[in-house]
Amino acid sequence: MANLKEVKERITSVVSTQQITKAMKMVSAAKLRRAQDKIVQMRPYSQKLTAILNNVSAASESQADIVYAQKREIKNVLIVPVTSDKGLCGAFNTNIIKASMATINTQFAGENVTVMPIGKKAFDAYKKRDFNMITDFSDLFLDLTFDKVRAAAERAMEGYASGEFDQVIVVYNEFKNVATQIVRAEQFLPMENTATEGEQVAAANNEVDYILEPSREYIIEELVPTSLKIQFYKAVLESNASEHGARMTAMDKATENAGELLKDLRLLYNRSRQAAITNEILEIVAGAEALGGN
């Protein structure tokens, strides 16, 4: 039978761990609510802004002149993996690293790849690998604001406009619900027209009419950078909400596992204690019988 002292120490240790996982679950639940509210509010704005840009540019011959839409031969690629700063969130970070490496190995094998990690886990993973890195935004989640995310988006956009990069891919977790996060590897640049075929036909036939001042070209020139920055910010917010959802789920499961382990340990403790008491009684009875025989 197991030593009673060892079992009791294990029970104490598991109880302490369970208290920590419960607390982390509650903290993640509170953070998730705020992060979820942000992404829910951002999605309609991002979708509407993209729809306006698609409708305006679909009927415009100047779309080919947009620097962020110009397609070039792919020689230099920028990968932007978005992870968290902390662990204890299940496979959240591992999935991003795997998806990023799969994208690099399958789509850009042999190309010059640069990585701009967002989140300390991505930075830690890629600093061990032989890649060019832009590390200015690895601590972005320490104080997540639009201004900081905009700076990261502008760095990628400037690199593309100058010809430093020929394609930019953002890899992040899209928030679906608390238990489900979907890994996305989306092309950030060159930008693509995401309008449906019906929307494109309507724009071409002038069925979607806008009064544009001072000109269509100027509006597109202003809308494109704004739309790209909002799109980048949306991806970061999706990842932030997904992180808290994944950690909440992981801590909930850890708390349940700790509860199951406590049941087994307490059962083992009671059995060991009962066996020890039984042995003591047997020793006392044996001793009494020996004294009585003498």
Residue of 14, 89, 157, 237 marked catalytic: 89
Q: What is the pLDDT of residue 275?
A: 84
Q: What is the mean pLDDT of residues 222-235?
A: 90
Q: What is the mean pLDDT of residues 52-75?
A: 72
Q: What is the pLDDT of residue 196?
A: 47
Please state which of the ranges 157-171, 211-225, 246-260 shows the lowest mean pLDDT: 211-225
To the question of pTM greater than 0.85 for the whole model, the response is no
Please name which of 246, 224, 222, 242 lies closest in space to residue 234, comparing C-alpha atoms. Answer: 242
Please state which of the ranges 56-65, 126-135, 232-241 shows the lowest mean pLDDT: 56-65
CB hemisphere CA count around 15 (13 angstroms)? 9
Q: Is the pLDDT of residue 1 over 60?
A: no
Q: What is the mean pLDDT of the chain?
A: 86
pLDDT in tens, 25-51: 999 999 999 999 999 888 888 888 888
Which phi and psi angles does 7 have, rounded to 5°? -65, -40
Active site includes 89? yes
Q: What is the mean pLDDT of residues 224-236?
A: 92
3-state secondary structure of 114: strand
List the chain domain ranges.
21-250
Residue 29, CA distances (Å) to 67, 93, 161, 179, 244 in order: 42, 19, 40, 12, 7
Residue 247, CA distances (Å) to 1, 72, 93, 172, 254 in order: 37, 40, 11, 16, 10
Q: Is beta strand 76-81 parallel, antiparallel or unpaired with respect to 132-133?
A: unpaired
Please state which of the ranges 60-69, 137-146, 156-165 shows the lowest mean pLDDT: 60-69
Q: How confident is the model at residue 57 (pLDDT cuts 50, 70, 90)?
A: low
Q: Give yes or no for a contact between 117 and 123, defined as CB atoms under 8 angstroms apart.
A: yes
Q: Is the pLDDT of residue 89 over 80?
A: yes
Query: In the CATH hierarchy, which fold is given to the domain comprising 21-250?
Result: Pyruvate Kinase; Chain: A, domain 1 (3.40.1380)
Q: Which two tokens stand for residue 247?
A: 């950690």
pLDDT in tens, 183-219: 999 999 988 765 445 444 444 454 556 676 777 777 7
Higher pLDDT pick, 2 / 92: 92
